[in-house]
Structure formats: structure tokens, C-alpha cells
Amino acid sequence: MFFSKYSASGNDFLLTHTFKYQANSYRDIAKIICHRQKGIGADGLIVLKPHNIYDIEWEFYNSDGSQPNMCGNGTRATAMYARDFGLAAQKQKILTKAGVINVELQEDMVESELTQAVILQKDIIEFNIKWWLIDTGVPHLVCENANLSKEDLKSLRHKYNANVNIAKLDEGRVIARTFERGVEDETLACGTGMAAMFYYLFKQGKVSNSTLFNPASGENLYLKEEKGKIFLKGRVKKICDFIYQI
């Protein structure tokens, strides 16, 4: 099978496309090729499929084969892959399990209009720290300025069945840390996680409505809110094409 590898601000994905519509057929392949020692290695697998209304419909798989409703950086990587292979233009509509995501490309910068954030629960106390649980396409547990180990984050991920995020304000920017379910580790970036962190801080008046985020990858991402929607913007780069013998 033919695949390409793209990195969206640190989140890396393996992508392929098909002109046949066949749902939920790539779970086992995702577990094989996303494995960092036994396969190519990636945070997730994205399969682009045709749609009679929208530019693209996708199947998205985490590296463990699970299928989340959304992935913010995944939509940005998808849009660049679709443009590179002539499947869609600069402005695209991508159908995900969380709904339709509007994406726009400007050279190597890609901006996704994410789904509306929903606060599921406020003032959760864990490790003597106050957290919010926010859905930005997938659920995220969010706090500020916590110094917790990876094992602590892992325990919260399983307790709340959510991604776990820590935001740290630093001279006008936000340093972001995320433990992702489905990958079951900290990742270099998480688009919906940064959206949840932005929403958490913005609703409390701690950041302006156009904020620079630096995830573990060190790359720059920009988040803002317009008419209730959160926009995520950053660079995407193609790593390689390859053929993998399944």
C-alpha cells in the first residue's frame, strides 16, 4: 500500500486515500504501521475517502487502532495531503465523526475551524489541582501550571477517559503539554488539546483572542475564537512517501 507521512506541528500521521467507500477497514493496519519500533511510526493513520457533498471524508485511527471523533492537527495534515495529491483545493470541507471541519491552506500554513468547545464539568479536584473537562471534538482534562509526572497524567487519562493537558503561561505565550489517549503517551502536539487549553484560559480572561501556543515540539501554533468556533493555525510539512508491504 502507498502512504505518505506528514507532521503537523509535531503530531505525525500516515496518510493514504482510496476511491472506494469501505468503512472501518484499516484498524489492524493502523496498529501495525503506526508502531514506532515494528512499523513506520506515527501518532495516527488517516484514510481519505470520497464524499458526494464534502471534499473529503476520513477514517482516523490512533496508533492503538482506536477511532476518536476528531483530531485537530490531523485535519491540517489531511488538508495538505489532499492538496498535494490533487484531491481538493486550498479551501476544504472534511467530514469527521465530530462533524464537518473547514480548513484553509496558505502555502505551508494550515488553519482548521474546529467544532464548538463544550465545558463538560468545572472545578474537578485532582492532585490538589483544579481542572476543567472540555470537549473540543474529543474530551480533554485541562489545568494550569501543574508539575505532574507522566504516570500521574496516565492515571487521570484512564480515570476520566480523556486526554490530559497542562497549560503554562509564559510571557504572552502558552506552553502546552498533552497526554493523549489512543497514543497512550505524551505527544509533541495535540490540536484539540491546545483548543481546550485556549478555551479554558480565554474563558477566564487569562489570554487574548489570538494566542501563541508552543507544544512539546517547540513549533508555533495560533489559536483564536470567532463566533463560538476555535481556529487552530500552524505549519504542516511532508516527511516522505513510502510503500509498505502489509
181 is in an annotated binding site: yes
Q: State whether 38 and 71 are in the same domain.
A: yes
The pLDDT of residue 25 is 81
Which of 79, 111, 143 is the endpoint of a domain? 111
Q: Taking 70 as the threshold, does the pLDDT of residue 21 lie above it?
A: no
147 is in an annotated binding site: no
The residues that are catalytic are 71, 190
- Does residue 109 sit in helix, strand or coil? strand
CATH code of the domain containing 188: 3.10.310.10
The answer to the question of residue 220 being in a domain is yes
99 is in an annotated binding site: no
The pLDDT of residue 19 is 84
- Count the neighbouring beta carbons within 10 Å of the beta carbon of residue 204: 10
Domain range for 102: 2-111
The 10s digit of each residue's pLDDT in 46-60 is 999 999 999 999 999
Q: State whether 28 and 100 are in the same domain.
A: yes
Q: Taking 80 as the threshold, does the pLDDT of residue 116 lie above it?
A: yes
The answer to the question of residue 7 being in a domain is yes
Q: What is the 3-state secondary structure (H, E, C) of 1-58?
A: CEEEEEEECCEEEEEEECCCCCCCCCHHHHHHHCCCCCCCCCCEEEEEECCCCCCEEE
165 is in an annotated binding site: no
- CA 181/CA 178 separation, integer angstroms: 10
What is the number of structural domains in the chain?
2
Q: State whether 201 and 127 are in the same domain.
A: yes
The pLDDT of residue 93 is 98
The answer to the question of residue 95 being in a domain is yes
pTM: 0.92
The 10s digit of each residue's pLDDT in 59-101 is 999 999 999 999 999 999 999 999 999 999 999 999 999 999 9
